[in-house]
Structure 1
Amino acid sequence: MDTQHDNALAHALAAIPGPVPPSGVIHIVIPHTNRFTVVGNHLAQHAGLSLVAIGIGVHIQSLPAGSEISIKTLAARFPEGEVKIASALRELEAHGYLRRTRVRLAKGRVATRTVFCNQPGAVLRGGVVPGAPGAPVVGAAVRNPAPAPALVREHLRATGPEPARVPEPARVTEPEPARVPEPARVTEPEPTLVTEPARVPEHIRVREPEPTAVAGARPAPIRLPAPTAPKQPRRPLPHPHALTPERRQAASALLADLRRHAVELVLSEEAVEELVPGVAAWLERDATTDAIRHALTADLPKPLRHPARLLRHRLTALLPPPLPGVHDLTAPRRAPVTPFQTCDGCERAFRSHEPGHCRDCRAPYGEAA
């Protein structure tokens, strides 16, 4: 009698109409009355998105307009790291659910405008521009949900009417006749901006020019400026001081023989002639053929698409310095040091190769300077 048995799940399973499937998931559908978001199966069951991307897409769709959805914000909210979240956002962006553009504000600041579309397929098929007259309102999926099915309406009538949901359709459809004249189209979004100043003050301020710009045609896409970072020039191929016929022949033979040691390094005659000065520079610096061959064939990438470019890079980046001479390897000779001696007269120390007297005692004793 000490174990409690919860029979709520059993009663819920018994109340499911129709036959219960013998295997697989069994759904217990309880209609939501508040705090819910309508998510399409095209996102929840998308075959081309990962599970992380689907979860982040559903989370973004459930947030109110103006919420922060940067990579650092999502990484602080969920256990996934920034790399995985950034990859999921790129997936949503590639399939049309997410769009991130950079816009320049009035005072010269640059901000990132993030737009999430709950039905990218409908936008592409119908040519609908978000923010235009007659287009779906951004972020209105939570405030104005679609009509519930018959089972949900019966459940709502049994539990009692919802006072907050009754006037919602009338508030959305009432301004529709005012959109026809031109002056009303400019002032029509203003009441919707005033109704929720705490949620979307900054987000709507960036979107404000869009309804006025879309009057008869789709707006031109915002193009980002091309990157202006200077590209580093490629380092030149090393050349020897004197390209003798012997070094040219040895370098050409070494390059042509590389395919015996690595089947990926099959070079054309033009590529061999181009790389001969680089190998000759290695030979001029007393590098052995085995050392050059090991430097050019070790740790090749898989697959190798441009063998000549790889050999050119290795001959340039891994060029060894010249071998030092024999005199460079010997230790530097130190100058001879005169030892200390003790003066026989005053017992003071002085430097001299032979014992005797210091400079002050030499005069009385008649010693030579």
Structure 2
Amino acid sequence: MAVDQLSAAPRTSYEPTHPMANPGYGKRSAPDQRPREGRDFSHLPPREAAVASYIDRLPDGSDISVKTLAKWLPYGQCALRTALNRLQAAGHLRRGSECVATDEVMLWVTRTFFSRTARDDDWWAAFARGDAPRETRRPTRSRAFVLLAALGRTAPSLSLSAADCVSLQPLVDEWFERGATEDETLRALTHGLPATVHHAASLVRRRLVDKLPPERFAPRPPTVVLRALECAECRAPGSADALRGGLCGICRGEDTGIAARPPGTVPTDGVRDRMATVRAGLVPRPERTDRARGITRTGDSGTP
């Protein structure tokens, strides 16, 4: 007998991911940002807030060019270009380049720096110099404290008090400094426990001391980071102090005393004089041809 109803095959949910940019390009998150909150971009107009919220949730290295964003957001390229410029004016975004140098390689890469926390021009200038001031935050629980506080979830007999966690925290920090992961530390503390644990804090302390791992990783070579910002309108590079709001003085409409010209144009001052000097020092073509053939004209060697 034929089956009247067939159960539908389960559908595999597919959600495409935002594309990544080529190596060296794409989004780069600014350091020392506040934790993500629901009202991070409430000071922005709705469109700019939506674009900023979307970019904020993308991982570093994501392609946030206008053309790519237009494929993922319900806005055209012109609207997105305007939105990005307004995010820049509000202190959430800067465009520029960054030099990453180690003992083996030095490479300049293009960056689009994004900050969930709005920054003023002075902060971005300090960021470009590599000495951005860190914000004062209220104390948060350390990585070691969180592991100790959650220890009872894996092994109920090792439930610790807040005072125990504070006391044992330096020992766990030493494990992390030697390259141990949370899983490795948790396994060392909870594997092979006795049937009855009379004093959880004492047992954890004993294991942290007795099972302390050796040094695992050699120190990495120092990394030197150099950054340069550029004008969002004409793409001309400049010092961070000169790019107020991400724009150079000419694009801000200020009278800088310098005539506006396309990026990359060579100033004409002194060019003609320099070329005249170069031409005066050149040997005439007939003389160059005669010298190549070994012909000496009368008067060239000083003899009649």
TM-score interval (norm. to shorter) = under 0.3
* Greater relative contact order structure (CA < 8 Å, 6+ sep): 2
Q: Which of these two proteins has the greater Rg computed from alpha carbons?
A: 1
Using structure 1 for the length normalisation, give the TM-score: 0.21
TM-score, structure 2 as length reference: 0.26
Which has more helix, going by share of residues? 1
Higher strand share: 2
